[in-house]
Structure 1
Amino acid sequence: MEGNMMEMFEVGPCEDDFHLGFLIGQRFRDQIRSRLAGDLILQNQLLPFARTTQAQPLIKALSETNQNKFPRYWDELLGTAEGSGVPILQIILVNLRKEILPFISKAAMNSNADTADDCSDILIVGDSMAIAAHNEDANVALVGHTYLIKGKLSNGLSFVAYTYAGELPSCAFGFNSQGLAFTLNSVPPAEAEIVPAGIGRNFVSRDLLEATSITDALDRRMILNVETASRSRVSVHEVGTTPFFHANMYLHLQVQQIRLLCSRVIPTTLSSPTLALVPSYQNFLVSPFQGKSTSPPP
């Protein structure tokens, strides 16, 4: 089974962000190229759409918006493309797929479309424990195409991030040396809520890896559930002793959203015995921070 263990790649400090991305792309060149070649969403939907006249202004605007907001992470993305030998367009498309797919006509979509029911969490905080149990769901193209990045930055901060091949760390979950951890769940807004050319979620989550605090969260045990949407809308829920379940629906931020079938049968709170099934998550999320568990899962 040793050959199936997920690899952790330690990288940095680097001379610049392009070099950081280049080393990651170079190290995981085969996995990145294999993932992109077998990703039916990329091959059958994103790439054909990118060749249309309708897509050109959208992709250009998305690229400019995210490059201007996060120039360092954009350079990291360019480095990943260079290091892996993959066309930069493909790297851009997989990193911004959630922001592009809503603009592909339903007629062009097929059964391989990206689904909204990605990932879920159970959260609980008590006097003697703080647990964040995360279930990572994703497209089948990612099977065997993920890895862990342990990045060390020139300012002394370091992070560990579960990373999809070819994407910025991390659109899944991660934690850093400041004691801050996060997990991510996809939430599907209604079509009227979608703003073109906005900030990509991959860039937001990459920035979370370098965050140093959430108010006084580093001074006490805290888990926050943070829901965000376009137009700078945000809602924060502090998890307490009542177990809190979050999957792929907005629970406390008032947003028009797509109603998923599973939301009718999954309760928003679960009884305490359910947590007995996932004790290992407590060690994974708490012990790296020496007892601190600061996890804001958007």
Structure 2
Amino acid sequence: MSVAHAHRELDGLRWAGLSGPRLEVFRALGEEYRAEIAEAVHSLPEWPALDRYARTDTGLVRLSRLSALTRVNHAQEYAELAAMAQGANQSERTLLLVNLRGDLPAQASSAGCSDLAWPGRVFAHNEDGGAELAGRLLLVTLDCAGEVPVTALWYPGMLPSNAFTLTGHGLVFGLDHLPVTEPAIAPGRHFVARAVHRARDLDEAVRLLTELPSAGGFAYNLAELRTGRVAHVEAAAGSSAVEEAGEGPFWHTNHLRHLDLPELVTRSSRERAKVLDALEPPAEPDVEWFLDVLTSPHPRGVCRQPAEGDTATLATCVVDLAAAELTVVPSSGKRFTCSVAAALAGP
């Protein structure tokens, strides 16, 4: 069975859709974006340090243990990465190292994202990444045979799991990097995040995140379209903490709010947290209010400009939970809105 491809150019964002057998889809994804993957991997600011660390005795031992645990406990997701590497003509080691970079002892970094949600109303995510990645981020819809589709923001070379995702089970994911300084010896966090895409509802997603340990850390911000429920799970260094939203705004940035673990907290994460914590929402907050918060710079909002450092807001994704609509605003481009059903159908 061959893989079907579809493409669409949004203003400021490319959208690709692939459907077919799982591993053939990932092999085709690697092949189609071979040049982008090679460029993205080797232009990562962390790449030289990652490569050096992987060649030290300490790095070799840790990476060997992390990769073995990942391969055993997340064989399906590991096979996806291997297939993508094959299609991209990259070594499996290279893509594995890039996908495990957040599972290694944290270095000083300005990486981060922001999430803001309101149960029953709106879920919003700012995807922040290296300013050099502007224009390289894609929207991809993967429709693997026998499974529900997923539509995700995708960094070429990464598993499509570390940013923003919609799934055919009616779940919305927004992930925030948590730079813990003492990661566990456990599977890689990208592989855990990808495995949770199979969850059929919010309760199952939360359960999986508390049962599947990861070496590094993510704050998983979750919403369920059917019920409008919102929750977040901090999963880091083999530990987890869960909080479900009550009434009112619910937010997360890039430092721990519930777990007590050693971490590197950036000034940017603290400043964005202060903005979100001090919000005075209108009585009936709508998509426009959320967009204003996420696309406005500090101190009005949490949009990060390239001038602030080496990290910028690359895209904003907002889901109207009541209307089941997705709005995407690329950093350089025009706003795009469609139904969740259309987003999952692909370009």
Query: So what's the TM-score if we normalise by structure 1?
Result: 0.80
In structure 2, the partner of 1:118 is 112
Distance in 1 between residues matched to 2:11 and 2:169, nearest whole Å: 30
Change (3 A) 1:116 1:234: farther
Distance in 1 between residues matched to 2:261 and 2:52, nearest whole Å: 31
Q: Tell me the amino acid that sits aligned with residue 255 of structure 1.
A: L
The 5-angstrom pairing of residues 145-294 of structure 1 reads 145-189=136-180, 191=181, 193-195=182-184, 197-215=185-203, 219-231=226-238, 233-262=239-268, 264-265=270-271, 266-267=273-274, 269=277, 270-273=279-282, 276-278=289-291, 281-283=318-320, 286-287=324-325, 288-289=339-340
- 8 Å CA contact 1:243–1:271 kept in 2: the answer is no
Distance in 2 between residues matched to 1:83 and 1:168, nearest whole Å: 14
Q: Per-residue deviation at 1:27?
A: 1.0
Q: Within the alignment, does 1:26 sit opposite 2:31 as a pair?
A: yes
Q: Per-residue deviation at 1:118?
A: 0.4
Change (3 A) 1:94 1:219: same
In structure 1, the partner of 2:86 is 82
Q: Please, which of 12, 19, 25 is the counterpart of residue 19 of structure 2?
A: 12
| Secondary structure of the structure 2 residue equivalent to 1:48 | helix
RMSD: 2.6
Q: Tell me the amino acid that sits aligned with residue 124 of structure 1.
A: W
- 8 Å CA contact 2:123–2:320 kept in 1: the answer is no
Cα deviation code 1:62-89 (max 9, x no counterpart): 1111010111111111111111112222
List runs of 5+ in structure 2 lacking aligned partners: 1-8, 205-223, 293-316, 326-338, 342-347
Change (3 A) 1:264 1:162: closer
Change (3 A) 1:3 1:249: closer
Residues matched between the structures, number: 269
In structure 1, the partner of 2:307 is none
| Secondary structure of the structure 2 residue equivalent to 1:181 | strand
- 8 Å CA contact 2:66–2:187 kept in 1: the answer is yes
Identity of aligned residues (%): 25
Q: Per-residue deviation at 1:11?
A: 1.7
Distance in 2 between residues matched to 1:119 and 1:163, nearest whole Å: 14
- 8 Å CA contact 1:12–1:151 kept in 2: the answer is yes
Q: Tell me the amino acid that sits aligned with residue 98 of structure 2.
A: V
| Secondary structure of the structure 2 residue equivalent to 1:184 | strand
Q: Please, which of 49, 53, 63 is the counterpart of residue 59 of structure 1?
A: 63
Q: Tell me the amino acid that sits aligned with residue 42 of structure 2.
A: A
Distance in 1 between residues matched to 2:10 and 2:163, nearest whole Å: 23
Query: So what's the TM-score if we normalise by structure 2?
Result: 0.70
Cα deviation code 1:216-262 (max 9, x no counterpart): 9565221111112233x322222233212210111123334334334
Q: Per-residue deviation at 1:3?
A: 8.2
Distance in 1 between residues matched to 2:40 and 2:108, nearest whole Å: 15
- 8 Å CA contact 1:99–1:200 kept in 2: the answer is yes
In structure 1, the partner of 2:46 is 41
In structure 1, the partner of 2:6 is none
